[in-house]
Amino acid sequence: MRDVSAQAGPVAGKAEHHHIPTMAILKIARMGHPVLSRVAEPVADPRAPEARALVASMVETMIDANGAGLAAPQVYVPRRVVIFQAPPERMPEGVGEEEAFDHTAALTVLINPEIEILTSEIQMGWEGCLSVPGLRGLVPRYADIVYRGFGLDGQPIERRAKGFHARVVQHECDHLDGILYPQRMTDLRDLIFESEARHRMEAEAARQKEKANA
Ligand code: NI
């Protein structure tokens, strides 16, 4: 446990000290705080030291919280910045090396992102959110997208994404438009506590077995 209250300064504005690495584990806003419901503003200059400092703290915060992604509004900064990672272990089985690039992403910083949907195919998958702690939900997402944005060097980024990679990008970009995953859900019976997930999976497996034996 770390006390973050005394470390909120670097993001709030100590740009004159930007030669000193300024990183902090930030407090994460939870569902109900208005910063999570508003539309975030674009970043005027992705190369600005303030953007670099924000991203450094976001990365530290995400890793500390064991998250797959984080959006700036989640740390009370209403700007269009997201970070995410889609590690190979989240890749669906049977994906070849060539195709794997669509399904995985190393830690990515995306500023002023945009999403283009390439398919009408919807996939259901379980999601959690650091702003909705303790819960998980079954959420429909587009299976195949292209996303575009800018890195901290100001260079444009354009990538195709499928599977979990596409899911995490849609989840994080939704935060920039004030949308949390429960608002994307089609059946709230699939919004459950993480601590009950094991029981639910067991009950489902038993039902499947019954069906197979019938
Ligand atoms: Ni989230």
What's the 18 CA to ligand 1 centre distance in angstroms?
28
The pLDDT score that the predictor gives to residue 3 is 34
What's the 175 CA to ligand 1 centre distance in angstroms?
7
Residue 172 is a catalytic residue? yes
What's the 92 CA to ligand 1 centre distance in angstroms?
21
What's the 97 CA to ligand 1 centre distance in angstroms?
29
What's the 201 CA to ligand 1 centre distance in angstroms?
23
What's the 119 CA to ligand 1 centre distance in angstroms?
23
C-alpha–C-alpha distance, residues 15 and 198, integer Å: 47
Q: What distance lies between CA 17 and its chain's CA centroid?
A: 29
Q: Where are the domains of the chain?
A: 5-213
Tell which residue, 154, 149, 148, has the closest CA to residue 48: 154
| Active-site residue identified among 172, 202, 204, 210 | 172
- Domain 5-213: assigned CATH number: 3.90.45.10
C-alpha–C-alpha distance, residues 25 and 71, integer Å: 14
Mean pLDDT estimate for the chain:
90
pLDDT tens, position by position, for the chain (214 residues)?
333 333 444 444 445 555 666 789 999 999 999 999 999 999 999 999 999 999 999 999 999 999 999 999 999 999 999 999 998 888 888 888 888 888 888 999 999 999 999 999 999 999 999 999 999 999 999 999 999 999 999 999 999 999 999 999 999 999 999 999 999 999 999 999 999 999 999 999 999 999 998 7
- Lay out the sheet containing 191-193: strands in order across: 122-127, 135-142, 191-193
Output the six-digit token pair for 204. Answer: 């489902």
**Cut 0.85: pTM above it:** yes
What's the 210 CA to ligand 1 centre distance in angstroms?
36
Terminus-to-terminus CA distance in the chain, angstroms? 51
